[in-house]
Structure 1
Amino acid sequence: MIRGVIESVTDTLDMNEWNVLWVDDKGKSRGKWFYCKSHARDFYNKLPYMNKRMERA
């Protein structure tokens, strides 16, 4: 719970956009845009692919 509060405060201070990029099983590049770093990180951690990255947009 405390982690969620801290992340929500730091996300509002961190006014960046984040992209999560990966290559799927068929070799196609995919991407998803996020406003909050914590949401991007959660999505990134759940991706089952090895060829993935998270970057600041």
Structure 2
Amino acid sequence: MFDKFRAIHARYRTPRIAMSPAVRRALLGLRIYLIVLVLLMLYKFALMAGA
């Protein structure tokens, strides 16, 4: 079963399309935005759980 997963992962390891620097920056910005949102949700949950 894991051999099948490894084969699929090896097949799609390298991207098939080239990304421009603008696309890379946009994806990095979205990744940072997502991390900030998750951290804010965890912070709010910690405040509510402590109250």
Structure number with greater Rg is 2
Relative contact order, CA 8 A, sep 6+: which one is greater? 1
Bigger share in strand: 1
Bigger share in helix: 2
- TM-score, with normalisation over the residues of structure 2? 0.27
- TM-score, with normalisation over the residues of structure 1? 0.25
